[in-house]
Amino acid sequence: MAFDMASPSFSNMLKTLKKDLVIYDFLQPWAPSIAYTHNIPAVNFITTGAAMTCFALHAMKNPSEDFPFPELHLRDLYESSSTVHPYINDKERILQSFARSSKIVLIKTFRELEGKYIDLLSSLIEKKVVPVGALVEDPVHEDEKAKTIDWLDKKKGSSTVFVSFGSQYFLSKEEMEEIAHGLELSKVDFTWVVRFPVGEKIKLEEALPEGFLERVGERGIVVEDWAPQAKIPWHSSIGGFESYCGWSFVIESIKFGVPIIAIPMQLDQPLNARVVEEVGVGMEVKRDRDGKLERVEVATVIREVVMGIIGESIRRRARETSDSLRKKGEEEIEVVVDELDKLCATRSLFQWLHQFS
């Protein structure tokens, strides 16, 4: 990999900068080895969820055994090349990155969300796993407003769905049409950020069902390429986030109390959607037997999450979880800082003793 070619430069950089700590991910399993030659502790940082990480590790270490948490009904995911195989293909890198981490491993999650998976992960890697939280700041309120924010300001509280599939996944024409029809059938207000692959000259009107924008009128706004996504999901009018379930989006939504309408697409996203349902902060849009989206199902889940009777428990759970995390404040980060301080202190003691040897 290209990253591997950077190891000599990385060693020179550590020698020059004289840092106290290295934090790395599984793409650089060589980083801790180099750090240790400079007597610098190194800690692995996992940016996927604990459930997904456990699932991948379990498949690597115990391929013939069932995953210990059947309530996530993961059996079908074992057969999904888009979910498991990318991790299995990097098996050696992943295992090395855990083995070489100094005493602890950091992970981007909350104990309230994935407590049992954090404990299982700790057992699998035989190291303490320390959650760091969402690592996202509250949205900054600036004077200048985008058109989308002005539009949201006119909507009732928790009445609108925010739709976004991030910058790494592009909807097929069929998927876009089913989601568009689902939004139309739901009768729920929405703001939708649409992106197309770089270089493809596609007109928004041509990608959407004929007459869609005219039919939804003021009930919906579709924005191409850019929108103030640091602000939209947390606006008071947003009552649901229709998301592909990338892990960062999941935990940000949970932190800010926004219920999730889960439409996973690839990689860890299907399993993240199962965690969302298990915790009770969202609902997944189920696909048909061929794995295709259906507009009626999209509409049904949107209505339920935003205004339905069953969805009330989801909305309440999302608010309660958000309130709990806010009350904790910076507790996760304080624990992380304490753990890292211990590692750095051990290094300082070693260096002090070394000068007398």
d(CA 189, CA 187): 7
d(CA 12, CA 34): 10
Q: Which of 46-55, 76-85, 216-225, 336-345 has the lowest mean pLDDT?
A: 76-85
Write out the two tokens for 317. 């759970």
Residue ranges, CATH 3.40.50.2000, the chain: 2-132, 147-325
**β-bridge partners, 222:** 192
According to DSSP, the β-strands at 128-131 and 160-164 are: unpaired
Closest CA to 200 of 170, 175, 227: 170
- Tens of pLDDT, residue by residue over 99-120, are 999 999 999 999 989 999 999 9
User: Helix, strand, or coil here: 55?
Assistant: helix
pLDDT value of position 227: 65
User: In Å, how far are 26, 47, 117, 334 from 92, measured between CA atoms?
Assistant: 9, 18, 22, 32
d(CA 269, CA 165): 11
d(CA 252, CA 249): 5
Half-sphere exposure of 22 toward its Cβ, with a 13 Å CA cutoff? 28
pLDDT, greater one: 142 or 26: 26
pLDDT averaged over the chain?
85
pLDDT value of position 41: 93
The CATH homologous superfamily for domain 147-325 is Glycogen Phosphorylase B; (3.40.50.2000)
pLDDT of 248 over the 50 cut: yes
CATH number of 2-132: 3.40.50.2000
